[in-house]
């Protein structure tokens, strides 16, 4: 096999690998909505209102249109650990596990939302145009 062919195959493999990774982390907005409203999930409705969600809190801002205002990366950063964006935010950290206070010993080192749930919530929020 020539060097050019090997380089081309390596490039194609890398491209398809990153596309597969991106698709795998794209999240499912239907599951994300469930995490958003579920007491066993993020229970985001405790503090936030969102279009089409009957139960809604008013401690945090309404999330109507948030998918138009923020990129997926910005949404992910806020859900994962809002204190990185706004240090005095009342919103809990849903994905950070270090530097937290008053954590139940059974929950230490475990995020509220795992990677898939975080991706799903971000996918749901991105639909709120």
pLDDT tens digits, 13-28: 555 444 434 445 689 9
Alpha helices in 25-105 (DSSP H): 29-37, 66-69, 72-81
Residue pLDDT, tens place only, 29-62: 999 999 999 999 999 999 999 999 998 999 999 9
Residue 57's domain comprises 3-126
Residue pLDDT, tens place only, 72-106: 999 999 999 999 999 999 999 999 999 988 889 99
Q: How many domains are there within the chain?
A: 1
The long-range contacts involving 50-57, CB below 8 angstroms and separated by at least 24 positions, are: 50/128, 51/128
Q: CATH number for the domain including 98? A: 1.10.760.10
Q: What is the pLDDT of residue 101?
A: 87
Q: What is the pLDDT of residue 1?
A: 53
Would you say the pTM of this structure is higher than 0.85?
A: no
Question: By three-state DSSP, how is residue 42 classified?
Answer: coil
Asked whether residue 122 carries a pLDDT value surpassing 90, the answer given is yes
């Amino acid at each position: 096999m020539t060097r050019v062919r090997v380089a081309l195959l390596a490039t194609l493999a890398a491209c398809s690998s990153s596309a597969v990774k991106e698709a795998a982390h794209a999240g499912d907005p239907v599951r994300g909505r469930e995490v958003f409203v579920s007491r066993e999930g993020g229970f985001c409705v405790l503090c936030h209102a969102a279009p089409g969600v009957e139960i809604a809190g008013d401690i945090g801002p309404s999330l109507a249109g948030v998918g138009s205002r923020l990129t997926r990366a910005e949404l992910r950063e806020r859900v994962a650990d809002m204190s990185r964006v706004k240090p005095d935010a009342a919103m809990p950290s849903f994905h950070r596990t270090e530097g937290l206070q008053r954590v139940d010993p059974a929950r230490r080192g475990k995020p509220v939302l795992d990677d898939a749930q975080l991706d799903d919530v971000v996918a749901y929020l991105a639909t709120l145009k």
